[in-house]
Structure formats: structure tokens, C-alpha cells
Amino acid sequence: MRLNITVFISMPNNFLKHYMDLLSPLGSITSHSMFGGFGLFSDKTVFAFVAKERLCIRANESQKKVFEKRGFQPFSYTKRTGRVVTSYYILPNDVLKDRNQVLQLAKCALNDSQNRGLSKRLSFPVKLRVLPNFQASTERMLRKAGIDSVECLYRVGAANAFLAIRASHNVPVKLELLWILEGAIQGVHWSVVSDQRRNELIHLIETV
């Protein structure tokens, strides 16, 4: 696992820059470390991922079926607890040679990510305390960590919120809180947060 991460992060900058330039028609593209590689963002919305010099595109449930039918492989990595399969699919070389096709796939991914974010914000209640899974103590922990609104929680995400709570409290914070936060963001009970998403979140808090 450590060896793989070293390989990802030591990826030549020209590959990352190439993909950022390639996707520049979609907006101001920025990159941040993610899953041992680099997530690509447009206006703070993640839609693509670069690892091992390959470009991966985020896929929703319907798009996954299309990608798999075309033979695209999901990006995955190995942890001590097992293999984690992400929602990012590796674009084959023949697709990468067609810039228009890459931009079309990336634009669909970006639009989906933006729409999901908008729908979540519109469906969120105004007060933290009425989110799914939340108790008064959950709201107090978030406020102490500097997260004082539903919009702020959505913006920072479950992993960053968990880390902020852990940093601002002098007592151990149970991992279950991470599922509670993610469930609140998804609008579901924490127990139905998928194993894949749990593994992704664990990786995020372990790599900070």
C-alpha cells in the first residue's frame, strides 16, 4: 500500500498538467491529493481523478453500466483491510486520443456531480439538529469544530468534518461518527452507508 501511494504521488507533473489542460474547457481546473493520486475539480466540484499517469472519470450508477459495457475498468487500490473499488473509471488509450470524447465524458461527470450537490443542498433542512442520525450532541460537536450550518457540513464533507471534530475535542472520537456524518449528507441512516464509501472515507482520514 505504501509503495503504491509513493508511485502515485511521484507521478510526473507533466501528466497532471496535461490532463488539467485537456479539461480546461470545463472551467478553472484545480487538483488536490485524493486516494493517493490527484482529484480534478472545477469550481470546487470533483469529477475526475489522475493516478498512475491515467485519467479516470467519475461515474454515477447508470454511467457505471455504460462504462463497464465498454470495457472501462474502475480505479481500485489495496489497503490493509482489503481492496477498495472507487467510482472513478480509467479511460482507455483509444478514448484518450479523442479529446472531444474525453471532454464529453468529463462534462457528463461534472454535470452529474454539480446536480447531485445542488439537489442535496436544496433538500437539506436549515438546522443541523434535524439532519438524519443527528442528536443535540452531534450538533454541539460540529459547532465546536467550527461547522455551524448544514451548508458548511455539505461543503467540507464527512471526512473533513470528522477530522475537525477530532482535532477540537480532547476525548477519542468513535469511527461511527464518520458514518453518521456521511449518512446525514446523503440523507440516509448511517447503517446503510455502503462499504465502498466507508472505505473511501477511511482512506481520506488516514492520508491527512
pLDDT for 52 = 80
Distance CA 30, CA 158 (A): 21
Does residue 142 or residue 82 have the better pLDDT? 142
Q: Please list, in sequence order, all residues whose beta carbon lies within 8 angstroms of the beta carbon of residue 122, skipping any fewer than 6 positions away.
A: none
pLDDT for 98 = 95
Residue 203 identity: H
Any long-range contacts for 180-187 (C-beta under 8 Å, 24+ apart)?
A: 180/133, 180/134, 180/138, 181/153, 182/158, 183/132, 183/133, 184/131, 184/132, 184/133, 184/134, 184/153, 184/158, 185/120, 185/153, 185/154, 185/157, 185/158, 186/120, 187/120, 187/123, 187/132
What is the per-residue DSSP string for 147-174?
--SHHHHHHHHHHHHHHHHHHH-SS---
162 near 178, Cβ under 8 Å? yes
Domains of the chain, residue spans: 15-122, 128-207
Backbone torsions φ then ψ of 199, nearest 5 degrees: -65, -40
pLDDT for 79 = 64
Three cell numbers, residue 138: 452531534
Beta strand pairing status for 54-58 and 37-42? unpaired
Q: pLDDT tens digits, residue range 89-108?
A: 999 999 999 999 999 999 99
Distance CA 161, CA 163 (A): 5
For the chain, what's the residue count?
A: 208
Three cell numbers, residue 26: 470545463
CATH 3.40.50.720 fits 128-207, yes or no: no
Architecture of domain 15-122: 2-Layer Sandwich (3.30)
State the burial class of residue 81 (Cβ atoms within 10 Å of its Cβ: 0-12, 13-18, 19+).
Answer: exposed
Q: pLDDT tens digits, residue range 115-170?
A: 876 555 545 455 788 788 888 899 999 999 999 888 888 888 899 999 999 999 88
pTM (global) more than 0.85: no
Three cell numbers, residue 25: 474547457
pLDDT for 55 = 95
pLDDT for 191 = 86
Three cell numbers, residue 204: 481520506
Q: pLDDT tens digits, residue range 11-66?
A: 445 788 999 999 999 998 988 766 667 888 888 788 998 988 899 999 988 889 99
Q: Which range is least confidently modeled, 112-116, 120-124, 182-186, 193-197?
A: 120-124
pLDDT for 105 = 95
Distance CA 169, CA 141 (A): 8
